[in-house]
A and B are shown apart, each in its own frame.
Chain A
Amino acid sequence: MFGYQGKFLRVDLSKAETNLEEADTEVYLNFLGGRGLGVKIFSAEVSPEITPLSPENKIVMATGPLTGTGASCGSICNIVTKSSLTKTIISAQAKLYFGAELKASGYDGIIIEGRAQEPSYLFIKDQKAQLLPAKYLSEMNTDQTEALIRSTINDPWEAREIRIISIGPAGEKLLPLAALVTDGMLVPNSVGVGAVFGSKNLKAIVVRGTKDILIHDPKLFLKAVVNSINEFYQSSSLKAFSELSSYVILEEFLNNGILSGFYFRKPAHPISLAHIKSYWQRNRGCFACPVSCLKTKENGEFLPDIDALWALGPLSGIYDLKTIITAYDICIKMGLDPVETGLTLACLMSLKERGLLEKEELKIKLQFGNKEAFLDILTSIVKEKEPILGKGAFGVCQYLDKPDLFIGVKGRSAAFDAQSYWPLGLQYATSSCGATHLNGFVFSQGITKVRGDIVSQVKTLQDKIAVLEALGICPHGLAGLSLDTMASMLEGVSGITLTQEDLLKIGESIYQLEHEFNQKAGIEEDNLPKRWLFPNFSNLLKDYHQLRGWQ
Chain B
Amino acid sequence: MYRIQIDHNKCTGCRYCELACSLNHLTTALNPKKARIRVLKEKGRFFPVISGPCTDAACNIKVDLIIGDKVYDFCDICRASCPHKDIFKDPVNNTPIQCDFCGIDAPGPSCVKWCPSGALRLIEIPSYY
Tell me if B28 and A214 are in contact (CB < 8 A). Answer: yes
A218: Cβ under 8 A from any B Cβ: yes
Pick the contact of A288: B19, B44, B45 (CB < 8 A): B19
Size bracket, chain B contacts: 20 to 34
B36: Cβ under 8 A from any A Cβ: no
CB contacts under 8 Å to B, within A280-299, are 281-290, 292, 294, 296-299
Total A-B residue pairs with C-beta atoms closer than 8 Å? Answer: 95
A222: Cβ under 8 A from any B Cβ: yes
A157: Cβ under 8 A from any B Cβ: yes
Tell me if A285 and B117 are in contact (CB < 8 A). Answer: yes
Tell me if B32 and A104 are in contact (CB < 8 A). Answer: yes
Q: Which of A40-48, A205-213, A257-265, A512-520 contacts B (4 or more CB under 8 A)?
A: A205-213
Q: With A215-B28, A225-B114 as given contacts, are A287 and B92 in contact (CB-CB < 8 Å)?
A: no
Chain B 14-26, CB-CB to A under 8 Å as 1, else 0, gives 1110011001001
CB contacts under 8 Å to A, within B25-61, are 26-34, 40-41, 43-45
Q: How many residues of A contact B (CB 8 A)?
A: 41
Q: With A222-B23, A299-B43, A299-B44 as given contacts, are A288 and B31 in contact (CB-CB < 8 Å)?
A: no
Q: With A69-B30, A70-B20, A156-B83 as given contacts, are A298 and B44 in contact (CB-CB < 8 Å)?
A: yes
A406: Cβ under 8 A from any B Cβ: no
Tell me if B15 and A300 are in contact (CB < 8 A). Answer: no
Tell me if B44 and A300 are in contact (CB < 8 A). Answer: yes
Q: Chain B residues near A290 (CB, 8 Å)?
A: 14, 16, 116-117
Tell me if B14 and A210 are in contact (CB < 8 A). Answer: no
Tell me if A215 and B30 are in contact (CB < 8 A). Answer: yes
With CB as the reference atom, state the residue of chain A lying closest to B92.
A210
A232: Cβ under 8 A from any B Cβ: yes
Tell me if B116 and A213 are in contact (CB < 8 A). Answer: no
B108: Cβ under 8 A from any A Cβ: no
Tell me if B31 and A212 are in contact (CB < 8 A). Answer: yes
A64 to nearest B CB, angstroms? 14
A491 to nearest B CB, angstroms? 15
Q: Chain A residues near B116 (CB, 8 Å)?
A: 229, 232, 285, 289-290
A402: Cβ under 8 A from any B Cβ: no
Tell me if B117 and A292 are in contact (CB < 8 A). Answer: yes
> Which residues of B approach A to under 8 Å, CB–CB?
12-16, 19-20, 23, 26-34, 40-41, 43-45, 83-84, 86-87, 91-92, 113-114, 116-117
30 A–B pairs (Cβ distance < 8 Å), ordered by A:
A69-B19, A69-B30, A70-B23, A104-B31, A104-B33, A157-B86, A157-B87, A160-B84, A212-B30, A212-B31, A212-B34, A213-B30, A215-B23, A215-B29, A222-B23, A225-B114, A282-B45, A283-B117, A284-B12, A285-B14, A287-B14, A287-B15, A288-B14, A292-B12, A292-B117, A297-B44, A298-B44, A300-B41, A300-B44, A301-B44
Please list the 7 inter-chain residue pairs (A to B) with the smallest Cβ-Cβ separation, ordered nearest first. Answer: A300-B44, A290-B116, A70-B19, A212-B29, A210-B91, A285-B12, A285-B14
Instruction: Given contacts A104-B32, A157-B87, list 20 more A-B pairs with CB under 8 A.
Output: A70-B30, A156-B84, A157-B84, A210-B31, A210-B91, A212-B31, A213-B31, A215-B30, A218-B28, A226-B114, A281-B44, A285-B12, A285-B116, A287-B14, A288-B15, A290-B116, A290-B117, A299-B43, A299-B44, A301-B44
